[in-house]
């Protein structure tokens, strides 16, 4: 009887251990955990594979950029009394990494040309127009003429006309520009940066909407 019990007990124990071992190696919880981990990993990979990278800003200096469709990036409209400040602004813009091309009337107007012709050409051949509105600007009929030309070129205030107020009360802000936000020049360096950023934003949007880029 003892021998028979030992005989029955030994296979039973071995069988139980084998069963336990087999159960442990392929337990549902382990498989489930493994599957969950695999699934999680798969989801992670899938997520990372479909995650959208941020849209890169267009290169406004590319050879096929619509920026080159016009001769100038910026035309500075100003009175004769503000030449010194305008020369500082032009120097700042032209020294930027983008090397903005500025039209400065005293420097770039063709000798012997009619004033009206030069002002109209400067507006038509520039992407953006900076209106340096000072007391002198408001009293200069040529400044107002150039302002009206710019508004006729782009009446919908799409970022091309950039009014900059200096030493002018808000109540004296030209009625023709009341639908356009202006930059108030309190700190010169800050205002120069704002002008630069505004021109840059317009050129980037121009390149972004270009048919060549969309293709």
Q: Considering the domain boundaries, does residue 188 fall inside one?
A: yes
Instruction: Kindly state the tokens that stand for 9.
Output: 């007990």
Of 176, 166, 171, the C-alpha closest to 86 is: 166
DSSP string, 101-154: -EE-HHHHSPTT--HHHHHHHHHHTEEEEEEEE-HHHHH-HHHHHHHHHHHHH-
Is 21 inside a domain boundary?
no
Q: Which residues of 114-143 are buried (b: 16+ CB within 10 A; e: fewer)?
A: eeeebbbbbbeebbbbbbbbbebbeebeeb
Question: What range does the domain containing 134 cover?
Answer: 66-203
For residue 19, tell me if it sits in a domain. no
Asked if residue 55 is part of any domain, the answer here is: no
Whether 198 maps to a domain, the answer reads: yes
Q: Does 214 reside within a domain?
A: no
CATH number of the domain enclosing 185? 3.40.50.10140
The pTM score is 0.71
Q: Coil, strand or helix: which one is 55? A: coil
Q: Specify if 26 maps to a domain.
A: no
Whether 154 is covered by a domain: the verdict is yes
Q: What is the pLDDT of residues 121-158, one digit of tens each?
A: 999 999 999 999 999 999 999 999 999 999 999 988 78
Q: Can you give the pLDDT at residue 16?
A: 46
What are 47-72's pLDDT values in tens digits? Answer: 333 343 445 677 898 888 999 999 99
Q: How many domains does the chain have?
A: 1
Residue stretches of the chain with pLDDT short of 50: 12-54, 214-215
Give the model's pLDDT for residue 2: 62
């Amino acid at each position: 009887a003892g021998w028979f019990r030992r005989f029955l007990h030994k296979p039973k124990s071995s069988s139980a251990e084998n069963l336990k071992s087999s159960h442990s190696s392929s337990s549902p919880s382990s498989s489930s955990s493994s599957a969950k981990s695999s699934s999680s990993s798969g989801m992670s990979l899938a997520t990372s594979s479909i995650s959208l990278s941020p849209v890169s800003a267009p290169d406004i200096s590319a050879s096929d950029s619509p920026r080159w469709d016009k001769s100038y990036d910026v035309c500075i409209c100003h009175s004769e009394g503000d030449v010194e400040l305008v020369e500082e602004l032009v120097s700042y813009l032209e020294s930027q990494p983008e090397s903005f091309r500025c039209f400065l009337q005293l420097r770039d107007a063709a000798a012997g040309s009619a004033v009206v012709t030069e002002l109209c050409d400067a507006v038509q051949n520039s992407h953006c127009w900076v209106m340096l509105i000072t007391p002198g600007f408001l009293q200069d009929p040529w400044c107002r003429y150039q302002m009206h030309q710019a508004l006729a070129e782009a009446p919908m205030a799409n970022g091309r006309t950039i009014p900059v107020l200096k030493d002018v009360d808000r109540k004296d802000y030209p009625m023709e520009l009341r639908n356009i936000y202006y930059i108030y020049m309190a700190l010169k360096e800050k205002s120069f940066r704002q002008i630069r950023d505004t021109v840059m934003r317009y050129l980037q949007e121009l390149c972004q909407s270009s048919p060549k880029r969309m293709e």
